[in-house]
Amino acid sequence: MQRRLPTRREVLLAAGAAGAVGTAGCLGDDGGDEGDCSGDQREVDVPTLGDPDSSIEVEVYEDFACPSCRTYELDVAPAIKEQYVETDEVSYRTHDFPTPADDEWSWKVPNAALAVLEDAGEEAYVDFSAEVYELQGSYTEDSIAELAADHGADEGSVRDAIEEEPFCEQIVESRQAGIDRGVEGTPTVVVNDEFVEEWSVEGVSEAIEAQR
C-alpha cells in the first residue's frame, strides 16, 4: 500500500515550529579568515545518510556558527530526516560551508565534528553535528570537547582538532566546491541540483516530492 503523504498543515505541525522558515541566512563573503591550514592536514569521508542509491539527492550547505543553520538543524532537519532519510527515500549529505559567520568558530567547530567522525564513527558524527548547534552563541573548547566525549569521541583528540585545525584544507575545499556550484550562503538546500528557495519543512518536502 502506498504511504499517504502528509498535508501541508500536517507537515508544518509536525515540524513543531511554523516560524522555522526562511530564505535569508548567513551570506558568504570572500571567505574571511580561512582557518589555520598551516599544520599537518588529513581527510575523512563525510557519510551520506539514507539510501545512497536513491534517485533523489538532498544536499545541505551549513555553517556551524550561522544562526539560520541552527534553526534549520534544530527545527527543520529532524522532520526531513524522519520522513525521507529514515525511510530510505532519499540520500542526504551535509557540506561544510563557512561563510564565515564567525571567523573562529565557523572553522573550529567543523574541525571538531570531523574529529568526532574520525574517532567515533558516523553515528556519533551525525548526532554531534546536530546537537552542537545547541551550544551556538556560547561555543568554547570545553563545551565542544565535552559534547564530543558524550558521543564516544576522545576528548583530547577533539581538543587537538579545535586548536590545530587538521581538517582545515578539507573544509576549505568543501566551501570552494559550494562556491563553484553557486552556493552564496547558509543554509542552502539542494535537491537533485535544484536550489530550494525556502528551507522550511514544507519547502524542502515540496522540492523532494517534485522529484518523484
CATH of the domain at 198: 3.40.30.10
Is residue 44 in a domain? Answer: no
Q: Which grid coordinates belong to 101?
A: 559567520
Write down the residue that cell numbers 539510501 correspond to: 51
Residue type, 99: T
State the pLDDT at residue 32: 53
Q: State how far the alpha carbon of 54 is from the alpha carbons of 57, 148, 206, 212, in Å.
A: 7, 31, 17, 11
| 154 located within any domain | yes
Asked if the structure places residue 200 within a domain, the reply is yes
* pLDDT less than 70: residues of the chain: 1-24, 29-33
Q: How far apart are CA 59 and CA 171, in angstroms?
A: 16
Is 141 a domain residue? yes
210 CB burial (10 A radius; 0-12, 13-18, 19+):
exposed
Q: What pLDDT, on the 0 to 100 scale, is given for residue 34?
A: 72
Question: Does the residue 183 lie in any domain?
Answer: yes
Domain that holds residue 200: 23-28+50-209
Beta strand spans in the chain (E): 26-27, 49-50, 57-62, 91-96, 185-186, 188-191, 194-195
What's the whole-model pTM score?
0.87
CA 108 vs. chain centroid, Å, equals: 14
Predicted pLDDT at 57:
98
| Residue 8 falls inside a structural domain | no
The domain tally of the chain equals: 1
Domain annotation covers residue 92: yes
Q: Please report whether residue 15 resides in a domain.
A: no
